[in-house]
Amino acid sequence: MSLDDEWITEICEDGGSAFALKGQGKLFEQQSAFQKVEVFETETYGRLMLIDGCTMVSTRDNFLYHEMMSHPVLFSHRAPRRVAIIGGGDCGTLREVLKHPEVEKAIQIDIDEVVTRAAELHFPELCESNGDPRAELMFIDGIQWMKDVSPGLLDVIIVDSTDPKGPGEVLFSPEFYSACHRALDEGGLIVQQSESPLIHMAILERMYRSLQAARFADARTLFFPQPIYPTGWWSATIGAKNTRLGDFRESDVATKAFETLYYNAQIHRAAFAEPEFFRKARRGWPV
């Protein structure tokens, strides 16, 4: 990340590209035990959080990511009651999960409490469900928590993770997916952000192979726009413990009692349409 007097710029070496927003000043900065957390005011995207110089969330476009990380997987499960979110410290995914009245418990496990405290100060709209009696926020190692959790405890696991670099790399490994497989009940689903299909196909292939190695029965990727992330085009991949993916509770989407800005039944179906280059690559992948 580079910063001059006006522009906040994240350089993406993988894609040979950069994304910049015109800034209006820094609102927050703290070096935690794990990473550097910053919040800026921008001219056109509202507030912007960076972690170690990488754009994480903005006021203007966060609904795209948070809705697509939550609603497709929850409406693909027959009855999601117990949900775990690994990461997700800005709490936007937790907010979307708790819009579902059938969810009885949502546990958010993020190792860095500073991210959540910064979000509470500067993105309070993302944290409006933190006090929900169904919510539990834990600031511990989510990887270890997943290894220790009781078998079959969870219906849905949402991995709202960082990129697969450094400490986040293990979140894309067969060992982690095996722990998730064990933690899921029969019919359980996992979803994880899976980077940009334009420049990160190697990461997507690795995820599919890791899900197969962990004995997941099926996997599918959904696609959505995300302007502040590299290439502006993002994805999430769903793994099914022992079922086939495809159907979803379409009638429940049509009659949902909460509002969304992006997600609906048509978006759900369209998000799983595979671009031709992805379809061709997938033929050589497992699950």
Residues 121-149 have pLDDT tens digits of 999 999 999 999 999 999 999 999 999 99
Q: Is the pLDDT reported for residue 3 higher than 60?
A: no
Phi, psi dihedrals of residue 174, rounded to the nearest 5°: -55, -35
Q: Is the pLDDT reported for residue 87 higher than 90?
A: yes
User: Which residues are known to be catalytic?
Assistant: 160
Q: Could you read off the pLDDT of 239-284 as tens digits, one per residue?
A: 999 999 999 999 999 999 999 999 999 999 999 999 999 999 999 9
Superfamily of domain 2-58: Spermidine synthase, tetramerisation domain (2.30.140.10)
Query: If you average pLDDT over residues 82-96, what whole number do you get?
Result: 98
pTM > 0.75: yes
Q: Where are the domains of the chain?
A: 2-58, 62-282
Q: Is the pLDDT reported for residue 4 higher than 60?
A: no
Q: Is the pLDDT reported for residue 185 higher than 90?
A: yes
Query: If you average pLDDT over residues 83-108, what whole number do you get?
Result: 98
pLDDT of residue 166: 64
Superfamily of domain 62-282: Vaccinia Virus protein VP39 (3.40.50.150)
pLDDT of residue 287: 85
- In the numeric block, which tokens belong to residue 34? 């794990």
